[in-house]
Amino acid sequence: MQTVDAATLREKLTGIFGAFSDPRPSLNIFGDVAGLMRNWTVHATHPRCFGLFNPSVLPVAAAADALAATFNPQLAVWSMAPAANEIERHVLRFLTARLGLDPDTTMANFCTGGAEANLSAVLGALSRAFPRWAEEGLSALPSPVGIYLSAESHDSLTKVARMVGLGRGVLRYVPVDESFRMDPDTLLKRIRRDRARGRHPLMVVGTAGTTGAGAIDPLATLADLAAGAGAWFHVDAAYGGIAALSDRLSPTLAGIEGADSVTWDAHKTLPIPMGAGMFFCRHPEAIHRAFSVRSSYAPGSVRDTVDPYTTTAQWSRRFIGLKVFAVFAELGAAGVADQVDRQAHLADLLRNLLEEHGFRVVNDTPLPVVCFTHPRIAAGEITAHAVAKAVRATGEAWISPVRLGAEPIEALRACITSHRTEERDLRALLDLLGRSLGP
Ligand SMILES: Cc1ncc(COP(=O)(O)O)c(C=O)c1O
């Protein structure tokens, strides 16, 4: 991407489009817009974009999104978009089963992303633990509550804690081990100590694929601990849910089938455009209590179907799931699994190449995210931030710096998110890293 400041872009837009006084043919509009986007966008779909969970997009997924926009069905009410709602249900039932959850008893919906799914989870937990909460709000809580999560968990939960009115203090961060996984012994001690002081354990959040290091918390152990504490067990698998699609990787999610709810973002790893979050929950009645409304102007409900506006935060609903459906339909489940395995294999290759070239890999995950450092970074001769910046400045690849753990470790992070990435792209990255580290 070329560097640019906001003033330059604003000037260009004013120059080309002004106050929209002259109507223009759409081909012209797209020519100009595509030019702006081409020059001034981080190209997430490029095979050397080792970035932040923004995958490349298959043509079938982009076409599906355009088709959804063209029909513009309203999915809020089943009877207004029966075909679209059933297409979403079809693919969600398939994915529910891949998580090891029962499609007949688990409710599932598409949403904007992981942040919305995590919000749904906390609302579900509140509604189940305190049935009067849906009417009376936080005054129905007899005591303070705690949401227990790893120190490496995603910051969307901070926003959620604020949005639901509990405040950030409700988040009880648990330290991680050397592999950046939540330490269950400390979790248990924390819950016990809080309980002795009158704090009710509302929820334990296990992260399957932390944003920084792709670490997968010990889900089976957390499921047992949460059940023992009477807490809702939520798994934030926004990134790591993808492992469920591969028979080789799915054992790394063992324990997810014991979750009360799961967040999984299709748009973080499948070759589809944003946004396609997914929320799965084993307690439809709690979710219903949290979101249920009936509006006189909405068509009535149809037997054996769900009106999504009564079970989700959204009202008007886009046909989010079509692009996910289209990718599975085109590649087949085995074809998608092959892509997942291929990306995991490339990450293994990158780890080996890095170690061969004097770097040290600092994370431990089966997912295709590789965090690494170099003796020169460890010695303070150059920062990870400066190396990432120098790599990006070449315009040939994109990586980011990352800070991991309590110590903390300053590292570089390369995430393979593109089905177009090949071994030669990894070698090119190594070359760029070498040049960016300097002599
Ligand atoms: C683990 C995790 N949870 C939640 C989120 C939020 O997801 P979204 O950006 O789709 O709202 C992210 C985003 O990176 C994430 O990595």
Tens digit of each residue's pLDDT (9 = 90 or more) over 198-254: 999 999 999 999 999 999 999 999 999 999 999 999 999 999 999 999 999 999 999
- In angstroms, how far apart are the furthest CA atoms of the chain? 71
Q: Are residues 283 and 369 in the same domain?
A: no
pLDDT at 135 over 90: yes
Residue 50 lies in a domain: no
Pair 113, 265: CB distance under 8 Å: yes
Domain shared by 137 and 91, yes or no: yes
Cα–Cα–Cα angle for 240, 226, 149, rounded to 5 degrees: 50
13 is in which domain, residue-wise? 1-41
Q: Are residues 34 and 154 in the same domain?
A: no
Residues 309, 354 share a domain: no
- Residue 298 located in a structural domain: yes
User: Are residues 34 and 176 located together in one domain of the fold?
Assistant: no
Q: In degrees rounded to 5, what are phi and psi of residue 81?
A: -150, 65
d(CA 409, CA 412): 10
Output the domain CATH number for residue 346. 3.90.1150.10
Compute, in angstroms, the gap from residue 240 CA to the centroid of ligand 1. 11
Q: Region 418-422: what's the mean pLDDT?
A: 95
Q: The domain spanning residue 192 has which CATH number?
A: 3.40.640.10
Mutate to test the pocket of ligand 1, among 149, 265, 369 (most ligand atoms within 8 A of CB): 265
The answer to the question of residue 62 being in a domain is no
Contact by Cβ (8 Å): 333, 340: no
Length of the chain equals 439
When pLDDT is cut at 50, 70 and 90, the band that residue 129 belongs to is very high
Both 147 and 18 in one domain: the answer is: no
Residue 210 belongs to some domain of the structure: yes
- Domain end point (choices 280, 310, 326): 326
Pocket lining for ligand 1, CB < 6 angstroms: 53, 113-115, 118, 154, 156, 207, 211, 236, 238-239, 265, 277
Total domain count, the chain: 3
> Band of the pLDDT at 13, cuts 50, 70, 90?
very high
Identify whether residues 167 and 257 lie together within a single domain. yes
Is 66 contained in some domain?
A: no
Residue 328 token pair: 């599975």
Same domain, 167 and 182: yes
The verdict on 160 and 278 lying in the same domain is: yes
Q: Is residue 65 part of a domain?
A: no
Same domain flag for 135 and 271: yes
Q: pLDDT category, 1, cuts 50, 70, 90?
A: low
- Identify whether residues 298 and 339 lie together within a single domain: no
Under DSSP, is residue 29 helix (H, G, I), strand (E, B) or coil? helix
Domain-located, residue 57:
no
**Site to substitute for ligand 1 among 116, 153, 154, most atoms within 8 A of C-beta:** 154
**Does residue 53 lie within any of the structural domains?**
no
Tokens 């979710």 found at: 287
pTM above the 0.85 mark? Answer: yes
DSSP-derived secondary structure for 170-225: GEEEE-B-TTS-B-HHHHHHHHHHHHHTT-EEEEEEEEBS-TTT--B--HHHHHHH
Residues 335 and 200 reside in one and the same domain: no
